[in-house]
Amino acid sequence: MSIKYAKRMEYIKGSAIRELLKLTEQPEIISFAGGLPAPELFPIEEMKEVCLKVLDTDGKAALQYSTTEGYLPLRKIISERMRYSGIEIPADDILITSGSQQGLEFSGKVFLDEGDTVICESPSYLGALNAFKSYLPRFVEVEMDNEGMKMDELEKALEANPNAKFIYTIPDFQNPSGITMSFERRKRLVELSVKYNVPIVEDNPYGDLRFEGERIPAVKHFDTAGMVIYLGTFSKTFSPGLRVGWVAASPEIVRKYVLVKQGADLQCNSMAQRETAAFVQMFDIDKHINKIIEVYGRRRTLMIETMEKEFPKNVKFTYPSGGLFTWVELPEGVDAAAVLKKALEEKVAFVPGGSFYPNGGNENHFRLNYSCMPEDKIVEGITRLGKVLKTL
Amino acid sequence: MSIKYAKRMEYIKGSAIRELLKLTEQPEIISFAGGLPAPELFPIEEMKEVCLKVLDTDGKAALQYSTTEGYLPLRKIISERMRYSGIEIPADDILITSGSQQGLEFSGKVFLDEGDTVICESPSYLGALNAFKSYLPRFVEVEMDNEGMKMDELEKALEANPNAKFIYTIPDFQNPSGITMSFERRKRLVELSVKYNVPIVEDNPYGDLRFEGERIPAVKHFDTAGMVIYLGTFSKTFSPGLRVGWVAASPEIVRKYVLVKQGADLQCNSMAQRETAAFVQMFDIDKHINKIIEVYGRRRTLMIETMEKEFPKNVKFTYPSGGLFTWVELPEGVDAAAVLKKALEEKVAFVPGGSFYPNGGNENHFRLNYSCMPEDKIVEGITRLGKVLKTL
């Protein structure tokens, strides 16, 4: 006798890549595979003060159940900070989530019936695709260029798919491509969303980590009709371990997310929410972010320079002006998963690109992360990778 | 134009009761409505030491991403502690969840397709019913007596519902009824689960809080075929604000929950997991639990004694030997929601029982919580409630 699971469990599978990547946890491996913040930048000493302060002033509430919506002072801080991205939204329209990953999962739950369409960038963030997949949608991928999703392609996709439930985009320093959507495209994206009555899920974990150039207003900045659901997080600017993210949307939509959150896990960690608020109140988070930008920016530059020197000329890659990733394109027909096997023999790891395309194909890409390796390992790892690529 | 949500959103609704209960947040109200632990018992001073220890010895990992399965030393502690309930399960078969509420949500996701049947106690925990409801099942309720679910009724339900996906039970000090399932029934429950090949979701948030009598082995204790999914939590024995619960099940089943967790929110708070482990390692959690038992036991006794004195004789209630709740039955035809309105005029609150029955009916019940009110307020509140009941 075997136990009967829900149909969706046939589609929620451990990936072969994830198994391969378990190898990357060995300390001798130079890994460009993950998407981890640099742990040496975590404000550990500050956190000690923060914890004592929270427990001293608000200990009972920090250890008790609380509202599903989240800790109001934190939501007010988020509301304030969203102005940096050109967004005016009251704290009432913000729900605290367990990282922005939970916001992605909830987007699937709020919007998707089996067979509905999700329109996404091609490639797109693996973790989002997996969260959506559990609601059994179809994916329609929209090609990108250096300015992000191509808007004529998007319009074609919207016309061809009247059952599209939302458009998923990571406009700033996209995961995995590192591409940033241009001002004009963001404006047009919102126009198309309104024209076709299809909401946008704007996932923005990296927007604060810009190394150069001017910040472009969020997609949500252009949203006057309440069509954009903005997902944010403190994972890349403070700590991913605390699992504090948020959803900001119109009152009608955010209410749906609150109801889903109630059933899903009642609320986020009361203490972590207070710690995050206290950190912003007691310390200068923008100064802290600038330190992260400086370190990641240097690592980015070094990685790109080393790639230019060490990679064969027929290997292309993106030049990200922020975030955590660059995206590598091998010549047509080369399988990045096979390259990974060879790279692992040289003790270097990355994520093959195939799984970032929900409908498959494009096996000749891979993603490199530069935030989590010190500079000497970046040079050494990219040099070794270059040697592997030259043997192809 | 209106936005198109998933079909399930029609069934995920804010309850009218929840609106009514917002009133209970006013400080002058004596509320027996919630299910909150007594905040004056939270180990705040100990938590300060715990936080400093975790940040000093393991700060980088506490603030970083970690594995979906959870912090291994915590899972080992849980594995050890589950022996108290007669369960032998390795740490590998335990997944850390965001409270046991997340374990309930995941049970829905892992097992339920639209139209599948969930078999549950009648009445049953509202939060579980809501979590399951989002997967659009049917509910079949099984009547209880003083020894828990009636096994002949359960067998009839299993026979009549071949599409039953799991049996949901809260065997110890059930929410809302306060009833504990007998040893013999637990054994029989597992036999029926195996006979009909329908897994059991055993939700046990209160088992550690027994005021008198012998602990009865968990349902999972009788499980030799891997049919029982055990949900546990530190919410009632340490802190609900930290959101640390767990799922313990056979390797095959727990693997499904891990995959669902990955998409849902990647992992639980790395710091909260380490804090929980450190609290158990640095302090005597059993001594702490004994303090909770002493306080709640006194409150239970006082509430029951006052009810015996102040309530009309045609009002019945259960006598819980542990946990947080007693369950009141009014004469047939009396609507507890209408009683609540009158009680609120007297500044006393409780939860009307109707919503604990997924198929409706039974409006003549209500739930009283005794864990969260000091003794003088229990006497005062129950006395006022008695007066309201006498006017009926």
- Rounded to whole angstroms, the Cα distance separating B88 from B80 reads 8
Identify the domain boundary among A282, A297, A316. A282
pLDDT value at A222 more than 70: yes
Rg (CA), chain B: 21
Regarding whether A207 and A138 lie in a shared domain, the answer is: yes
Regarding whether B253 and B122 lie in a shared domain, the answer is: yes
Please give the share of chain A, as a percent, with pLDDT higher than 90: 94
- Rounded to whole angstroms, the Cα distance separating B392 from B345 reads 15
Q: Tens digits of per-residue pLDDT, A137-189?
A: 999 999 999 999 999 999 999 999 999 999 999 999 999 999 999 999 999 99
pLDDT at B343: 96
Among all residues of chain A, which has the CA nearest to that of B243?
A: A269
Is B240's CB within 8 Å of A116's CB?
A: no
Is B12's CB within 8 Å of A65's CB?
A: no
Q: What's the CATH code of the domain at B311? A: 3.90.1150.10
Is A6's CB within 8 Å of B109's CB?
A: yes
Give the DSSP letter of residue A210.
B
- Could you check whether the bond before residue A176 is cis, i.e. omega within 30 degrees of 0? yes
Label residue A12 by pLDDT band (50, 70, 90).
confident
Regarding whether B235 and B95 lie in a shared domain, the answer is: yes
CA distances to A63, A357, B18 from B24, rounded to whole Å, are 20, 50, 10
Regarding whether B312 and B234 lie in a shared domain, the answer is: no
Is A42's CB within 8 Å of B60's CB?
A: yes
Question: Would you say residue A113 lies in a domain?
Answer: yes
Question: Would you say residue A215 lies in a domain?
Answer: yes
Question: Would you say residue A235 lies in a domain?
Answer: yes
3-state secondary structure of A380: helix
Mean pLDDT, rounded, for A20-45: 87
**H/E stretch holding B118:** strand B117-122
pLDDT value at A302 more than 80: yes
pLDDT value at A22 more than 90: no
Question: Would you say residue A57 lies in a domain?
Answer: no
Is A264's CB within 8 Å of B3's CB?
A: no
Tally Cβ neighbours within 10 Å of residue B290: 12
pLDDT at A27: 81
Regarding whether B274 and B229 lie in a shared domain, the answer is: yes
Mean pLDDT, rounded, for A290-294: 98
Q: Which residues of A touch B51 (CB under 8 A)?
A: 48, 51-52, 55
Regarding whether B278 and B318 lie in a shared domain, the answer is: no
Regarding whether A201 and A162 lie in a shared domain, the answer is: yes
Of A55, A97, A130, the CB nearest to B48: A55
Distance from the Cα of B392 to chain A's closest Cα (Å) equals 34
Which is more confidently placed, A390 or B15?
Answer: A390
- Rounded to whole angstroms, the Cα distance separating A111 from B44 reads 41
Of B37, B102, B256, the CB nearest to A5: B256
Regarding whether B299 and B158 lie in a shared domain, the answer is: no
Counts of helices then strands in chain A (DSSP H, E): 12, 14
Which conformational region is residue B200 in: left (phi greater than 0), alpha (psi within -120 to 50 degrees), or beta?
beta
3-state secondary structure of A199: coil
pLDDT at B16: 63
pLDDT value at A20 more than 70: no
**H/E stretch holding B369:** strand B365-369
CA distances to A104, A182, B113 from A149, rounded to whole Å, are 19, 9, 35
Q: Which residues of B touch A5 (CB under 8 A)?
A: 110-111, 256
Average pLDDT, chain A: 96
Is B131's CB within 8 Å of A271's CB?
A: no
Among all residues of chain B, which has the CA nearest to that of A194?
A: B1
Of A6, A36, A130, the CB nearest to B113: A6
Identify the domain boundary among B282, B298, B316. B282
Among all residues of chain A, which has the CA nearest to that of B226?
A: A3
What is the per-residue burial (b if ≥16 Cβ within 10 Å, else e) of A310-338?
A: bbeeebebbebbbbbbbbbbbeeebebbe
- Rounded to whole angstroms, the Cα distance separating A300 from B115 reads 51
Of B197, B262, B265, the CB nearest to A243: B265
Is A99's CB within 8 Å of B127's CB?
A: no
pLDDT value at A16 more than 70: no
Is B263's CB within 8 Å of A62's CB?
A: no
Question: Would you say residue A71 lies in a domain?
Answer: yes
Q: Domain range holding B250?
A: 65-282
Label residue A375 by pLDDT band (50, 70, 90).
very high
pLDDT at B26: 78
Regarding whether A337 and A262 lie in a shared domain, the answer is: no
Question: Would you say residue A132 lies in a domain?
Answer: yes
pLDDT at A72: 97
Best residue in B63, B74, B244 to probe A by mutation, most A CBs within 10 Å? B63
Q: What's the CATH code of the domain at B157? A: 3.40.640.10
Is A48's CB within 8 Å of B52's CB?
A: yes
What is the per-residue burial (b if ≥16 Cβ within 10 Å, else e) of A154-188?
A: bbebbeebeebbbbbbbbbbbbbbbbbbbeebbeb
Of A8, A63, A227, the CB nearest to B42: A63
Alpha helices in chain B (DSSP H): 16-22, 44-63, 72-82, 99-111, 126-133, 151-160, 183-196, 251-265, 270-282, 285-310, 336-345, 375-390
Identify the domain boundary among A282, A312, A343. A282
Point out the residues of chain B with pLDDT beneath 50: none
Give the DSSP letter of residue A261.
H
- Rounded to whole angstroms, the Cα distance separating A12 from A322 reads 31
Is B262's CB within 8 Å of A39's CB?
A: no
Regarding whether B78 and B21 lie in a shared domain, the answer is: no
Question: Would you say residue B56 lies in a domain?
Answer: no
pLDDT at B392: 84
Is A37's CB within 8 Å of B64's CB?
A: yes
Regarding whether B291 and B276 lie in a shared domain, the answer is: no
- In chain B, the number of structural domains is 2
Regarding whether B311 and B218 lie in a shared domain, the answer is: no
Question: Would you say residue A124 lies in a domain?
Answer: yes
Among all residues of chain A, which has the CA nearest to that of B267?
A: A243
Mean pLDDT, rounded, for A266-295: 98
